[in-house]
Chains A and B, each alone.
Chain A
Amino acid sequence: MRRILGIVLALGLIVAACGGDDDLSVRDAWARDSPGTAEAGAAYMVIEAGGEDDRLLSVSVPADVAAMAQVHEVVMNEGAMSMQAVENGLAIPSGETVTLEPGSYHVMMMNLAQPLEVGDEFTMTLTFEQAGTVDVDVEVREE
């Protein structure tokens, strides 16, 4: 009986561990170094969805990085590209990986407080509908 209880307990722990894997996570966050005196910058990352549908509602960076940050998408219109803010948040469907990358979704940072230089690091706060706020460390790279 005691042994069975042990097994049940172990199974319970495994199930709980699986539950932990079902949390939304963010990895590989980076920002390109900003060229010259450019006032805008972009950051990219990989968002692994959790077990439920979620939305990235907003992003923010410290004031000593940039005055404002928004999730943007690149839109192609008759051969011309433009950017626009993602309306109503970026969908992060359950079980999927959403990649923010050059030429696609990205976090646009406006009115940079100072140039982003290779090796700099800063914290970006992501606010999700379900997962709440998630802080990610963003590394500035050349790429």
Chain B
Amino acid sequence: MRALGILLVAVTLVVSACGSDEDVGLAGQIRTPAPNVSDVSLPEVTGGDIRDFALTAREDSLLLLYFGYTGCPDICPTTLADLRSAVRTLDGEQADRVDVAFATIDPNRDTNEVATAYIHAFFPEKGIAIRTDDPDELQTAADALGVIYSVEEQEDGTIFVEHSAWVYVIDDTGTLLVSWPFGIEPDAIASDIRLLLKETPA
């Protein structure tokens, strides 16, 4: 009987969790409390000039931030291609209010030029490349969002990379609105973007 009670509570919790998701209508994961990363910045290296880039969207816009590396053949390009597919379904006004930034976790191999060429392959001109030579600076930014990564040279000289593969959606106050896991459908991404842009009226 007690087990049944626990089961009922568990089921109720699951149902209510689903219910609240439906109310909000967002497919991505919402963290409570939502982290604010407006005081975190990393160097933007797009196009050669290096400037300080606060992890905050432009006014009335959304910043989609991804931490990856260009030697990643599967997870990273799949994620960025899914973002591209999603952004392509937006109307022009909506798409103008979305920026995509790629922060490399492998700055030794990803030079400024390589990182820029990489994000521009998915988002020509508009894509933002972020790279720092300072491991502490990268770690601080990663910790602020909960990014896990490690890049280690193996005995045979190959480089082993491990990383979490979320896309972080940040608003113009630096608040993390939602995070998308690897494998989320482009339709769900586009739907989330539309909803979030409505809540961030231009």
The contact of B120 among A36, A77, A143, by CB within 8 Å, is A36
**Do residues A79 and B148 form an inter-chain contact, with CB atoms below 8 A?**
yes
- Contact status of A103 and B183, CB under 8 A, knowing A36-B114, A37-B114, A39-B71: yes
Q: Which of B61-97 contact A (CB under 8 A)?
A: 70-75, 77-78, 80-81
Q: Which stretch in B20-28, B157-165, B189-197 binds the other chain? A: B157-165
Residues of B within 8 Å of A, CB-based: how many?
30
What's the A-B contact tally at a CB cutoff of 8 Å? 88
Q: How far is the CB of B137 from chain A (nearest CB, A)?
A: 20
Q: How far is the CB of B122 from chain A (nearest CB, A)?
A: 6
The contact of A37 among B72, B73, B74, B118, by CB within 8 Å, is B118
**Do residues A142 and B74 form an inter-chain contact, with CB atoms below 8 A?**
no
Interface band, chain A:
20 to 34
Decide yes or no whether A87 CB sits under 8 A from chain B. no
Q: Which of A37-72 contact B (CB under 8 A)?
A: 37-42, 72
**Do residues A40 and B148 form an inter-chain contact, with CB atoms below 8 A?**
no
**Do residues B73 and A106 form an inter-chain contact, with CB atoms below 8 A?**
yes
**Do residues B77 and A81 form an inter-chain contact, with CB atoms below 8 A?**
no
| Closest B residue by C-beta to A100 | B74
Chain A residues packing against B (C-beta within 8 Å): 32-42, 72, 74, 77-83, 102-103, 106, 108-109, 142-143
- Contact status of A40 and B72, CB under 8 A, knowing A35-B77, A80-B163, A82-B161: yes
**Do residues A42 and B118 form an inter-chain contact, with CB atoms below 8 A?**
no
Could you give 20 example pairs across A and B, Cβ below 8 Å? A32-B78, A35-B80, A35-B121, A37-B70, A38-B73, A38-B118, A39-B71, A40-B73, A72-B74, A74-B75, A79-B148, A80-B162, A81-B164, A81-B182, A82-B163, A83-B75, A102-B78, A106-B73, A106-B74, A108-B74
| Closest A residue by C-beta to B120 | A36
- Contact status of A79 and B118, CB under 8 A, knowing A32-B78, A38-B71, A108-B74: no
**Do residues B81 and A142 form an inter-chain contact, with CB atoms below 8 A?**
yes
Decide yes or no whether B117 CB sits under 8 A from chain A. yes
**Do residues A81 and B75 form an inter-chain contact, with CB atoms below 8 A?**
yes
Q: How far is the CB of A46 from chain B (nearest CB, A)?
A: 16
* Complex interface: chain B residues within 8 A of A77 (CB): 162
**Do residues B148 and A78 form an inter-chain contact, with CB atoms below 8 A?**
yes
* Complex interface: chain A residues within 8 A of B162 (CB): 77, 80-82
Bound form: Cα–Cα A36–B72 in Å: 13
The contact of B81 among A32, A39, A109, by CB within 8 Å, is A32
Decide yes or no whether B150 CB sits under 8 A from chain A. yes
* Complex interface: chain B residues within 8 A of A33 (CB): 121
Contacts beyond the supplied A38-B114, A38-B121, A79-B148: 15 A-B pairs with Cβ under 8 Å: A32-B78, A35-B77, A36-B116, A36-B117, A36-B121, A39-B70, A40-B70, A41-B73, A80-B149, A81-B75, A82-B160, A102-B78, A103-B74, A103-B78, A142-B81
Bound form: Cα–Cα A18–B60 in Å: 63
